[in-house]
Amino acid sequence: MSSLFFNSSNPAEDPDLYLDQLNHLLDKYFEIRKLHELESGAGSRKPKLVVNTCGWVEGLGAHLISSLATSLSHIPATQFISLKS
């Protein structure tokens, strides 16, 4: 498991840092996934990845989500789920 602290509840304060940290976490995920495949075999269940985004769907938020989707586009069965209270 891996996590980073952004030091803000609003990615608009430093969107470049937000994307850098997101990409760092994705790199860690791919490392963990590769190790898992080496240890458990290619046919085993893959580790799950959960990214809790800011929920914005317009402007900067749409750009951040689009960047995330592009980074994950080569992973089969990528899902974006909206949880509304």
Separation CA 54–CA 38 (nearest Å): 34
If you search the block for the tokens 């470049």, which residue do you land on? 16
**Is 83 part of a structural domain of the chain?**
no
Q: What is the pLDDT of residue 65?
A: 85
| Domain count for the chain | 1
Give me 39's structure tokens: 């240890």
Stated pTM of the model: 0.70
At 27-56, the pLDDT tens digits run 888 898 888 888 887 777 778 877 777 777
What is residue 56's predicted lDDT score, i.e. its pLDDT? 76
Place of tokens 């996590």: 3
**CA atoms of 37 and 43, how far apart (whole Å):** 8
Query: Residue 57's domain spans which residues?
Result: 14-72
Instruction: Answer whether residue 64 is part of any domain.
Output: yes
Residue 82: inside a domain = no
Residues 49, 54, 57, CA angle at the centre, nearest 5°? 105
Contact 51, 22 (CB under 8 A): yes
Residue 24 domain-assigned (yes or no): yes
